[in-house]
Amino acid sequence: MLWPACSKCWQHSSLNGFGPHTHTKLAYSGESTLVNRRAISSEIRPCSWTNGVVTVLDATLVAVVGRDSGGPSGWDGVLGGGGSTSDRKCLTDSLDDERARFVTVVVEAAMSCGQIVHLTGSMVQTRLLPILLLVPLAVVASPVRDNDDSSLHPAFEAGILTAKNVREQSTEFWRDHSRQQTLAKVARRDNRNVAKNVVFFLGDGLSVQTVASARVAAGGEEREFAFERFPHTGFSRTYCVDAQVADSACTATAYLAGVKANYGTLGVNGKVKRGDCEVDRENRVESIAKWALEAGKDVGIVTTTRVTHASPAGMYANIPDRDWETDFGIRRDGCDPELVDDIAEQLVYGEIGSKLKVVLGGGRREFFDRTPDPETGRAGFRSDGKNLVKEWLNGDPGEHRRYVWSRSELLTVNPKTTDKLLGLFEPSHLQYNLDRISGNMHEEPTLAEMVNKATDILSQNPNGFFLFVEGGRIDHAHHENRARYALDETIQFDRAVFTARWKYSEEDTLIVVTADHSHTMSYAGYPTRGNDIFGFAGTGTDGLPYSTLSYANGQSFEDHFSAYSEGSARRDMRTMDMQTPRFRFPATVPYSTQTHAGEDVPVYASGPWSHLFSGSYEQSIIPDLISYAACFGSGPQACEGAGSSLL
């Protein structure tokens, strides 16, 4: 923020009290940014949101930063027509004659005020036009030659020069940035405290490409997510015992139980094949949830998927097939539900599931028989006649248990008087956030809201807690080739991470963020800086534009490719509605669903012993690193002198 002379300005009512120390929190506190972007997208296009500095990508000369002010041009337009003389004077006093700094401060001021700024009138003529005159003309590419550098790295048309780009052209800008980062790393000291609390965030399908492209969608190429500011990062290898490319079940067994297993199995070792009707007890594995419970901590689960889905089920279930969420699935596959407890039953009656303090997510249908759902009227999926929610409520008579199925009910839960909380907000998975905000947004909580309520309840335990949080719909969107959904779900996931890190100190709370596996989405081409991440990166040799984002395979192949006999294999995306969230980005191989990918996934850590998560390692080491920091489980522990000396 460029406010060296403006500290007093933040006291004025026209700036709504949005000070330099509070605007970061506000940016994560709700959907205002996203709603505003949707509201104005039809009239202003394209614009890129970049950490408070708006990049204008066409000749409209419009900078978009929040809600419409309705004010005139100039300073009154910046402050929504309500800025006082002192407001304007403070801003103008902080400016020098550098045009880039002028535009930057104007836009950052407006970001703090939550305004739309129309850079028109005299302000554009006197300040912005000289900058625009510096825009270079398009560079004509030289003829393409095989293996020539000009063909490998072709020239491209530069975008409109923005204030941000001007600053970045300076040598000192980058040298100063590097020096600051270096000094911060040098000053960092390893945190060797015992982790009282642990929050484990799992972004299902959160590949490096997903993180990088979601940054652009959230604010720009240089944007940083909350978890990217964590001091320590690493990479984990995700393969299964029997598969090069993993699914969410075998990976859950790895990162929650420390044992690699076979594709499609949960909470069992590699001796168990998917679909085995019987599992010897010695082939079941204990999860980190059990270790935390045995240490006297409270344990919870928050997810945007069904609570019986593969990732959350890894906390409490031991089952040879991830699809056996109800007794119906077991019968369908030829096994006896009297011999194998389905996943929903294990949540209610299992050794670990029955002890979970908080469970929030979707999946009501897995807990009910043919009883109509209270929201949709559709029947449940159970075939045994059981109402597992009722049975859960009738559990320990000495406990105050609460079941909720709407956002309004969740927000009324009193953490101090609630012993256990079960929240099932959808018959299946929770809605995509983009669908939620366009529909009945008041009846389904955000991931951040669920994390906030869960931690409020879990933190009542003086011994601390372990919370597993999954942003599961990132994965589902990628499977559908719907990149807009995937990147928005990533942004919502980051807001939940921010909520937890903001609430709890790094001194005693370890937060780990990672993925179970990758996806095939590619972020490619040579798009200009500030280009719409959901737009075109360039033109192919067939004369048709291609998108920055695409997939290696999936159902969208049929949307984008026609028969070769028609003369052109690719369809022209300019004829498609690419603005709808349901737009399916191109896939190059036809397939029933976009597949997972096999590369390593990132791990981000902050808090006690977070430095242990640096490097490259097997995914199965993650629960042991966590248990070391939190002093539970049967492995080495930080609170043991001998164990501590080993690391």
Burial class (CB in 10 A: 0-12, 13-18, 19+), 179: exposed
pLDDT at 371: 87
Locate tokens 């002093």: which residue?
631
Q: What is the pLDDT of residue 442?
A: 64
Q: Which two tokens stand for residue 318?
A: 């031991």
Q: What is the reported pLDDT for 496? A: 99
Cβ-proximal residues to 189 (8 Å cutoff; 6+ apart), any chain? none
478 annotated to bind ligand:
no
Q: Which residues are catalytic, by number?
A: 248
Compare 49 and 472 and report the one with higher pLDDT.
472
- Would the annotation count 311 as a binding residue? yes
Residue (of 467, 479, 582, 428) closest to 207 by Cα position = 479
Among 27-31, 89-93, 619-623, whose mean pLDDT is lowest?
A: 27-31
Q: How confident is the model at residue 165 (pLDDT cuts 50, 70, 90)?
A: confident
- pLDDT confidence band for 160 (50 / 70 / 90): low
Angle at 150 between CA 146 and CA 154, to 5 degrees: 115
577 marked ligand binding residue: no
Minimal CA–CA distance to 331: which of 381, 368, 388, 258? 381
Q: What is the pLDDT of residue 566?
A: 53
- Mean pLDDT value of segment 577-596: 96
Which of 44-53, 193-202, 459-468 shows the lowest mean pLDDT across its residues? 44-53
CA 383 to chain centre: 35
Q: Is 507 annotated for ligand binding?
A: no
Question: At 392, is the secondary structure helix, strand, or coil?
Answer: helix
Residue 641 has pLDDT above 80, yes or no: no
The mean pLDDT value for 529-554 works out to 96
CA dist 493 and 204 (Å) reads 10
Report the C-alpha gap between 503 and 495 in whole angstroms.
12
Q: Give CA–CA dist 370/379, Å, rounded.
A: 4
pLDDT band at 613 (very low <50, low <70, confident <90, very high): very high
* Confidence (pTM): 0.78
**H/E stretch holding 88:** helix 85-93
Kindly report, residue by residue over 309-347, the tens digit of the pLDDT: 999 999 999 999 999 999 999 999 999 999 999 999 999
CB 617 within 8 A of CB 233: no
pLDDT reported for residue 287: 98
Residue with tokens 């996934």: 601
- Is the pLDDT at 467 greater than 90? The verdict is yes
Predicted pLDDT of residue 149: 66
pLDDT(565) > 90: no
75 neighbors 244 (Cβ within 8 angstroms): no
Structure tokens at 349: 């009656």
Residue 560 in marked binding region: no
The pLDDT of residue 24: 27
479 is in an annotated binding site: yes
Closest by CA position to 498, among listed 465, 460, 464, 449: 449
Residue 439's pLDDT is 76
In the chain the domains, ranked by start, together with CATH numbers, are: 7-132 (no CATH), 197-521+596-645 (3.40.720.10), 522-575 (no CATH)
Reading phi first (left if > 0) and then psi (alpha if -120 to 50, else beta), residue 429 is in beta
Q: What is the pLDDT of residue 440?
A: 64
Q: Which two tokens stand for residue 334?
A: 């030829």
Answer whether residue 372 shows pLDDT above 60: yes
Give the model's pLDDT for residue 148.
65
Instruction: Give 179's pLDDT tier (boundaries 50, 70, 90).
Output: very high
Contact 203, 513 (CB under 8 A): yes
Cα four-point dihedral sign 251, 253, 254, 259: negative
Angle between helices 208-218 and 483-503 (to 10 degrees): 80
Q: Is 118 annotated as a binding residue?
A: no
CA angle at 461 for the pair 355 and 353, rounded to the nearest 5°: 10
Cα separation, 462 vs 196, whole angstroms: 9
Q: Is the pLDDT of residue 69 over 90?
A: no
pLDDT at 569: 85
Q: Give yes or no for residue 43 having a pLDDT over 60.
A: no
- Per-residue pLDDT tens over the stretch 87-121: 333 333 333 333 333 333 333 333 333 333 333 33
Q: At what angle do helices 447-458 and 483-503 cross, to 10 degrees?
A: 30
Highest mean pLDDT, choosing among 27-41, 72-86, 160-174, 417-431: 417-431
Q: What is the pLDDT of residue 583?
A: 97
pLDDT band at 438 (very low <50, low <70, confident <90, very high): confident
Work out the average pLDDT over 202-230.
97
Q: Region 284-299: what's the mean pLDDT?
A: 99
In whole angstroms, give the CA distance from residue 317 to residue 267.
6
Task: Give the 3-state secondary structure of residue 365.
Answer: helix
For tokens 């008579």, what's the residue?
397
Q: Which alpha helices (DSSP H) does 188-299 contain, by range?
A: 208-218, 248-257, 288-294
Q: What is the pLDDT of residues 256-277, one digit of tens each?
A: 999 999 999 999 999 999 999 9
Contact predicate 264/251, CB 8 Å: no
Any known ligand binding at 23? no
- Mean per-residue pLDDT over the chain, rounded: 80
**Stretch 206-224: mean pLDDT:** 97
Buried b (16+ CB within 10 A) or exposed e, 79-112: bbebbeeebbebbeebbeeebbbbbbbbbbbbbb
